[in-house]
Amino acid sequence: MEEEHFIFSVKEQSIKQILVSLGADVCGIGSIDRFKDAPAGFSPKDIYHECRSVISFGVALPKGVMEVSPKLIYSHFNGPVITQRVDEIALLASKRIEEQWNAVAVPIPSDAPNEYWDAENLTARGMISMKHTAVSCGIGQLGKSTLLLNPTYGSLLVIGAILTNLELQSDELCENICIDKCRRCIDHCPAHAINEGNVSQKLCRPNTYGKTARGFDTVECNACRNVCPMKYGKVKKTLESNVTS
């Protein structure tokens, strides 16, 4: 039994090394059992019936995109540039996993394309929820704004995922770094779209997304992310004492 456990550990570590070598900053693994409560139609097994494990990984944005007005720079790099990079990593890693372990690996789009759209409530869903997948794979926990928070990279991670028929060991769930009594994301939302643990996309979207006169996409608001004391990861205790101000 101990030898079998060792073989599994080497496999998981090798998979993570593949992701990191391709440009991922973090990587975690979750057994399919952790996804039993996924909404109908959005479970990994709804996409790939033989899925036994999910590999989640993240690529972090530079802190610099948070230090300027959101609009063009933020929307450009926190949009097609990084999601394409994440999708390329998922594709290349899937090929390596299949070659090395004679397995099946299914790369999942980080953002688009997706099919679900509730026009009345302006609500979209990906093929699977990337942030909930990251939680199930031990990469982070959700803050009150529902943004994923990672101890090292805060809310800067863009998440990708791979489904596989390999039976892999799950990583431990991540600690929650969201500060209990902090309400900054809730109180600073100009659209009043955040209700602890839930965000109304119907209120958020019209306030967040826009276009320039030439038709370039912009992000007009990222207040919930920018005011978070944990946006860059763990901070000193001195900050925690002032989070309700």
Q: How far is CA 230 from the centre of its chain?
A: 15
Model pTM score: 0.90
End-to-end CA distance of the chain: 54
pLDDT along the chain (245 residues), means of 10: 52 97 98 96 97 98 92 92 97 98 98 92 94 98 97 98 97 97 96 92 95 92 96 65 44
- Looking from the CA of 220 toward its CB, the CA atoms found within 13 Å total 13
**What are the residues whose beta carbons fall under 8 Å from the beta carbon of 26, sequence distance 6 or more?**
57, 58, 60, 139, 150, 152, 153, 157
Q: What is the pLDDT of residue 237?
A: 43
d(CA 109, CA 237): 37
**What are the residues whose beta carbons fall under 8 Å from the beta carbon of 54, sequence distance 6 or more?**
29, 30, 32, 34, 35, 44, 133, 136, 137, 161, 162, 163, 164
For all residues of the chain together, what is the average pLDDT? Answer: 92
pLDDT, tens digit, for every residue of 101-156? Answer: 999 999 999 999 988 999 999 999 999 999 999 999 999 999 999 999 999 999 99
Q: What is the pLDDT of residue 71?
A: 86
Q: What is the pLDDT of residue 235?
A: 59
> Which SS3 state, helix, strand or coil, does residue 159 take?
strand
Specify whether the CB–CB gap between 10 and 18 falls below 8 A: no
Q: What is the pLDDT of residue 3?
A: 43
Angle formed by the axes of helices 2-22 and 82-101, to 10°? Answer: 140
Q: What is the pLDDT of residue 8?
A: 52
Place of tokens 């109180």: 187
